[in-house]
Amino acid sequence: MKVLVPVKRVVDYNVKVRVKSDGSGVDIANVKMSMNPFDEIAIEEGVRLREKGVATEVIAVSCGVVQCQETLRTAMAIGADRAILVETTEELQPLAVAKLLKALVDKEQPGLVILGKQAIDDDCNQTGQMLAALANLPQATFASKIEVADGFANVTREVDGGLETLRVKLPAVVTADLRLNEPRYVTLPNIMKAKKKQMDVLKPADLGVDIKSHLKTLKVSEPPKRGAGIKVPDVATLVAKLKNEAKVI
Amino acid sequence: MSDASKALVIAEHDNAGIRPATFNVVTAASQLGGSVDVLVAGSASGGAATAAAAISGVAKVIHADGDLFAHGLAENVAAQVLSLAPGYSHILFAATASGKNIAPRVAAKLDVGQISDIIKIDSPDTFERPIYAGSAIATVQSLDAIKVITVRTTGFDPAPASGGSAAIESLTPVANAGMSTFVGSEIARNDRPELTFAKIIVSGGRALGSSEKFNELLTPLADKLGAALGASRAAVDAGYAPNDWQVGQTGKIVAPQLYIAIGISGAIQHLAGMKDSKVIVAINKDAEAPIFSVADFGLEQDLFTAVPELVAAL
């Protein structure tokens, strides 16, 4: 069984992004870029499935600019066997990415597609579910555990209030939540090995996919600032303030 | 705003009644200016349909009842929504685990973009939503005829649960997609208010040091205040609190009347989940902790002495 794992190149989670003064977006020139943390978890899960003998091959995919090759090399250093870049400089929204992935699912016929549940830049939380819809596959989102056997996956999901387990018939789409696993550290020998692994580069047109935008960003602005309040010297003052000033207790 | 909008709200419910997030979504839908219908897709869900009909501002409740909806499986609920979609200009879900699971499936089948996590409606096609963990607010315009939206509940007040008298229309459920089956769930039952809708939240961080200390210190405080318990990612990662207590960018987004952050340093990802709280209290012995930059009242003290003192003083 092949496992397909899409990965996104995003602004590193430690970077505090700044809104551009003309309101056209956030300034990502010269900031550190990394693999979306949830996608790293997805890759790790795919590699673990191969190490357990459940999967035969893990294919990492990224859609976007040429620099996404770095992200794919990282995925292969974690352990993905090969990579596909769908290269474009156009803005890609989740629906467009889902369509590109659908075309690759048709081509590669994976038994499982594992994606991060959400990208930490646009915070959309859409692509996995959209891919499942377009490919007409079952979905199990926000996974904290995946067990594959006999053509099915039992997936434990993080839902409001706790956990639930679904059984989905393969092929299926699963999205990874934070606690599915802890991705391994990438070692230097594995980085070197990753450089020799196969990477195919395609264009959206090669897949016959229309990547037009469905949403237009009119403006990006700073959120309202919340000012710091005051420091209180002791618990008694805190309780008095909450009771008499803020009136919240 | 345009009176041409026709909005369909997908209710969140437990079959017997409507879950609170739905009330906020009804408010968002009402702000579009046109009519608001509610879909209740459930199993033995007459109670939920009746409750939906009583929500102020709802024109019609569409009630689809069948076993296939017993566990809210995305494939089945999405199919039911799609059967109704052509009649609507806007389809709105709560940005909860359930809404986030189903909405994109609907959007993709309709070949439309989805607008996630809206916090404000500027016009029937233009919405504001946070990006980069709330570090920026994007104003986005939908270019599609049908707008599929998830609503961040903290951005909209709840619609009154009573006062409405909508007609309930029964609908024959779609066929079971049979793609996935529900195996089981572990939902923690307790008497505390639900985290997302609690008026007061007591939230703990890694500084609590252990799961025992987390419970020993925070439970009495939460009990005294009738508060829900929350946690930072660091505390959840360390195993001090269950996963679904995590407040932040990728966890729960909350905006209670009072948020008490105890031993939480205040990473941007955590602030993203709670900075719209009305009053924020931070208790932390590190004077430089970023949480103080958003706290209305900061107490720079060792939490192990401050929290018991606070419990005693209430």
- In order, the DSSP letters of B288-306 are T-GGGGT-SEEE-S-HHHH
Contacts of B301 (CB under 8 A, 6+ apart): A234, A235, B283, B285
Put simply, whether B242 touches A (Cβ < 8 Å) is: yes
Residue in chain A lying closest to B282 (CA): A231
d(CA B302, CA B314): 18
DSSP structural state of residue B285: S
State how beta strands A2-6 and A112-116 pair: parallel
pLDDT (mean) for A91-103: 98
Put simply, whether B127 touches A (Cβ < 8 Å) is: no
Nearest to B134 among A124, A129, A223 (CB): A223
Give tens-digit pLDDT for B267-294. Answer: 999 999 999 999 999 999 999 999 999 9
Query: How many CB atoms neighbour CB A119 within 10 A?
Result: 23
Q: Crossing angle, helix A188-195 and helix A68-78, to 10 degrees? A: 120
Average pLDDT along chain A: 97
pLDDT (mean) for B176-197: 92
| CB–CB contact A126 B114 (8 Å) | yes
d(CA B74, CA B100): 10
Put simply, whether B101 touches A (Cβ < 8 Å) is: yes
Put simply, whether B196 touches A (Cβ < 8 Å) is: yes
d(CA A56, CA A81): 9
Put simply, whether B191 touches A (Cβ < 8 Å) is: no
Give tens-digit pLDDT for B133-146. Answer: 999 999 999 999 99
Structure tokens at B168: 């309930």
A192/chain B closest Cα distance in angstroms: 31
Give tens-digit pLDDT for B29-45. Answer: 999 999 999 999 999 99
Residues on chain A touching B258 (C-beta within 8 angstroms): 242, 246, 248-249
CA-wise closest residue to B262 among B222, B212, B224, B223: B222
Are B274 and B203 contacting, i.e. CB atoms less than 8 angstroms apart?
Answer: yes
Give tens-digit pLDDT for B119-130. Answer: 999 999 999 999
Nearest to B113 among A93, A164, A249 (CB): A93
- Place B189 in a pLDDT band, splitting at 50, 70 and 90: confident
> b vs e for B66-100, b when ≥16 Cβ sit within 10 Å of the residue's Cβ?
bebbebbbbbbbbbbbbbbbeebbbbbbbbbbbbb
Structure tokens at A2: 């092949």
| CB–CB contact A26 B135 (8 Å) | yes
B266/chain A closest Cα distance in angstroms: 13
pLDDT (mean) for B211-220: 98
Give tens-digit pLDDT for A12-69. Answer: 999 999 999 999 999 999 999 999 999 999 999 999 999 999 999 999 999 999 999 9
B1 pLDDT above the threshold of 50: no
Residues on chain A touching B137 (C-beta within 8 angstroms): 220-223
Residue in chain B lying closest to A26 (CA): B136
Give tens-digit pLDDT for A138-158. Answer: 999 999 999 999 999 999 999
Query: How many CB atoms neighbour CB B137 within 10 A?
Result: 19
| CB–CB contact B109 A133 (8 Å) | yes
Q: Which of B82, B93, B250 to mutate to test the interface with A (most CBs of A within 10 A)?
A: B250
Nearest to A230 among B114, B200, B297 (CB): B297
| CB–CB contact B200 A133 (8 Å) | no
Contacts of B232 (CB under 8 A, 6+ apart): B203, B204, B205, B206, B246, B247, B248, B264, B265, B267, B270
Nearest to A126 among B71, B116, B135 (CB): B116
- Place A228 in a pLDDT band, splitting at 50, 70 and 90: confident
Residues on chain A touching B279 (C-beta within 8 angstroms): 242, 246, 248
B60 pLDDT above the threshold of 80: yes
pLDDT at site B2: 46
The backbone torsions φ and ψ at residue A215, rounded to the nearest 5 degrees and listed phi first, read -125, 140
pLDDT at site A73: 98
Burial class (CB in 10 A: 0-12, 13-18, 19+), B172: exposed
pTM of the model: 0.95
pLDDT at site B32: 97
Nearest to B113 among A129, A133, A214 (CB): A214
pLDDT (mean) for B157-178: 97
| CB–CB contact B181 A129 (8 Å) | no
pLDDT (mean) for A128-140: 98
Structure tokens at A81: 């066997």
Q: Radius of gyration over alpha carbons of chain B, in Å?
A: 21
- Place A225 in a pLDDT band, splitting at 50, 70 and 90: confident
d(CA A21, CA A83): 37
- Place B164 in a pLDDT band, splitting at 50, 70 and 90: very high
DSSP structural state of residue A211: -
Under 8 Å CB pairs connecting chains A and B tally to 259
A132 pLDDT above the threshold of 90: yes
Kindly provide the ipTM of the predicted complex, given to two decimals. Answer: 0.95
Residues on chain A touching B244 (C-beta within 8 angstroms): 158-163
Nearest to A249 among B130, B180, B258 (CB): B258
